[in-house]
């Protein structure tokens, strides 16, 4: 695990607190990413965002494994009460929400992320992209 920024609240700064961890391209990795997120939120006293955060990180990590077919890095940041969950993978292709049929067995994940987050997006840079979603208390 990489701690990329000390607790800015204790230092009086305005910079976000960020924790990040890298995972291998493995079908078990989304579960490990979810655990990492839940432990991080609990440590920050933000268990109120655990359910939504777990859904977001699981969906984005699963997309990294299934669609990007790459390992991925989860970064979780806290700033002014908002939590941003970001998943960086090795594919440059931006994800797009689909409109699955009633009987389709997949294709709803990004719509769920869109529905429960304050906002979400993609940043393409270098050899891949990061897909992120921002969660705020009381907005789900």
Under the banding of pLDDT at 50, 70 and 90, the label for residue 24 is very high
Q: Which are the contacts of 45, defined by CB distance < 8 A and separation ≥ 6?
A: none
Q: What is the pTM of this model?
A: 0.85
Q: How far is CA 84 from CA 32, 98, 100, 106, 110, in A?
A: 18, 23, 27, 25, 16
Confirm if 137 and 89 have CB atoms less than 8 A apart: no
User: Class assignment of domain 2-135?
Assistant: alpha beta
Under the banding of pLDDT at 50, 70 and 90, the label for residue 1 is very low
- In this predicted model, what pLDDT tens digit does every residue of 87-105 receive, in sequence order? 999 999 888 777 766 776 6
pLDDT at 109: 82
More confident residue, 49 or 127: 49
pLDDT at 69: 96
Question: Which single residue is written with the structure tokens 């992320």?
Answer: 113
pLDDT at 105: 64
What mean pLDDT comes out for the span 36-64?
97
More confident residue, 139 or 95: 95
Under the banding of pLDDT at 50, 70 and 90, the label for residue 76 is very high
The ranges assigned to domains in the chain are 2-135
pLDDT at 16: 87
């Amino acid at each position: 695990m990489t701690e990329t920024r000390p607790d800015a609240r204790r230092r009086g700064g305005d910079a976000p607190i960020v924790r990040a961890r890298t995972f291998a391209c493995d079908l078990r990795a989304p579960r490990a990413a979810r655990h990492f997120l839940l432990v991080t939120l609990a440590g920050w006293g933000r268990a109120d965002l655990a359910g939504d955060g777990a859904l977001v990180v699981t969906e984005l990590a699963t997309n990294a494994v299934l669609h990007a077919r790459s390992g991925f890095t989860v970064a979780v940041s806290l700033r002014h009460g908002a939590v941003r969950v970001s998943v960086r993978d090795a594919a440059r292709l931006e994800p797009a929400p689909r409109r699955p049929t009633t009987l389709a067995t997949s294709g709803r994940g990004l719509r769920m992320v869109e529905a429960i987050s304050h906002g979400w997006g993609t940043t393409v840079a270098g050899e891949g992209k990061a897909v992120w979603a921002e969660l705020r208390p009381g907005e789900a």
